[in-house]
Amino acid sequence: MSAEQQLPGPTTMRSVVQDRYGAAPEDVLRVAERGTPRIGPDEVLVRVHATGVDRGTWHLMAGQPYPVRLAGFGVRRPKLANPGRALAGTVAAVGARVTGFRPGDEVYGIGTATLAEYARAHPAKLAPRPGTVSFAEAAAVPVSGLTALQAVRDHGQVRSGQRVLVIGASGGVGTFAVQLARAAGAEVTAVCSTAKVDLVRALGAHHVIDYTRADIPGGEHRHDVILDIGGNRPLGQLRRALTATGRLVIIGGETGGRWLDGLDRQLRAHLLSPFVGQRLGTFVASENAADLTALRELIEAGELVPSVERTYPLDETAAAVRHLLDGRARGKLVITT
């Protein structure tokens, strides 16, 4: 007998499904009736109420850059039903060895194939959801908020009084990073496009640079910490915008390259760092319950607000991913089920 258990409740559900990798969401994502996931003894089944969409959703959907396929997601075709990872919902059932959660608990975090009515999750990647915001707002937090928290707190080590430059301030990660850097007491300069200047100002940025009109400053106006979330500026230019002992944290940047998609720049920063006074680095966000709890506390204290532009029903998931790809999203997009 399999260790997986089929639990009480509906045996089928509505789910986004994807049979092959592809770059165009409307070509590869569709909604279909599927069996409700079975969970193992160490897993939790969540009735998903909302799922955040982010750049990673597209990477898993497209299978690009190619190294993501080698990270267990399927080399020739996707292994998982769909590319969703963030979730907010209610625990429907728990595996025999799970002790921390019970059916009925309202949770948020990271799961598997979360663009569906039900999804499996590991308890180590779940936490009670923030009680002061909606499920949709909670679902915006797990991927992007975790990344921003670790960028600001751990890798940028942002301290009060420091000058922090956030490049890519208006997107999923950036809208959290601006608020977290400001909450840490930094003087925040946010970089984004014209249409989103008002958004990042409202999030608390002290200064805003519209990258379509001006580039990032160097010379006299150097920053103690640069969080590079978008834009793919050359390493040399970023270093000239950083103080002599400043920290550069490269979080992402979409080049469209199928093999590396900017990872070469991150690798060069990492290799150069030991030989210069500045700390240059990158990281892959850790998905963990302790940081989900830290984010929940900040949200409940009113220090952090998930910035959700709009929600879409499950049937319009492809339209949401398209909106993000077109660069039109302001903050986060969320799918509700």
Ligand X SMILES: NC(=O)c1ccc[n+]([C@@H]2O[C@H](COP(=O)([O-])OP(=O)(O)OC[C@H]3O[C@@H](n4cnc5c(N)ncnc54)[C@H](OP(=O)(O)O)[C@@H]3O)[C@@H](O)[C@H]2O)c1
Residues binding ligand X (CB under 6 A): 54-56, 143-144, 147, 167-174, 191-193, 196, 211, 229-231, 251-254, 283-285, 324, 327, 329
Cβ-based nearer residue to ligand X, 216 or 289: 216
What residue number has its CB nearest to ligand X? 171
- In this complex, which beta carbon is closest to ligand X, that of residue 37 or of residue 171? 171
The answer to whether 309 and 172 are in contact (CB under 8 A) is no
Residue count (the chain):
337
Nearer to ligand X, 147 or 162 (CB): 147
Shortest distance (Å) from residue 64 CB to ligand X: 11
Residue 131 or 327: which CB sits closer to ligand X?
327
Angstrom distance (rounded) from CA 39 to CA 147: 27
CA dihedral 252→253→255→259, nearest 10 degrees, is 0
- CA dist 142 and 110 (Å) reads 6
Alpha-carbon distance of 110 to 94, in angstroms, equals: 16
Q: How far is the CB of 215 from ligand X (least distance, A)?
A: 9
Q: Which two tokens stand for residue 74?
A: 């399927």
Smallest separation (angstroms) from ligand X to the CB of 148: 8
CB of 319 to ligand X, least distance (A): 15
Residues 6+ apart with CB under 8 A from 160: 184, 185, 186
The string over 245-274, giving b where at least 16 C-beta atoms fall within 10 Å of a residue's C-beta and e elsewhere, is ebbbbbbbbbeeeeeebbbebbeebeeebe
Identity of the residue, 91 or 308, whose beta carbon is nearer to ligand X in the bound complex: 308
Residue 56's alpha-carbon distances to 31, 89, 197, in angstroms, are 20, 20, 24
Question: Based on CB atoms, which residue is closest to ligand X, 56 or 83?
Answer: 56
Q: Supply 118's token pair.
A: 């039900």
Q: Tokens 């030989």 appear where?
A: 275
Report the nearest approach of ligand X to the CB of residue 256 (Å): 11
* Nearest-5° Cα angle at 321, 207 to 304: 40
Helices (H) and strands (E) in the chain, counts: 11, 14
Q: In angstroms, what is the minimal distance from the CB of 175 to ligand X?
A: 8
Q: How far is the CB of 95 from ligand X (least distance, A)?
A: 28
User: At its nearest, how many Å lie between ligand X and the CB of residue 147?
Assistant: 4
Smallest gap from residue 57 Cβ to ligand X (A) = 9
* Closer of 192 and 289 to ligand X (Cβ): 192
Which residue type is seen at 290?
A: A
Closer to ligand X by CB, 121 or 251: give it: 251
Q: Which is nearer to ligand X, 127 or 192 (CB)?
A: 192
Kindly tell me the burial class for residue 201, based on how many C-beta atoms sit within 10 Å of its own C-beta (0-12, 13-18, 19 or more): middle
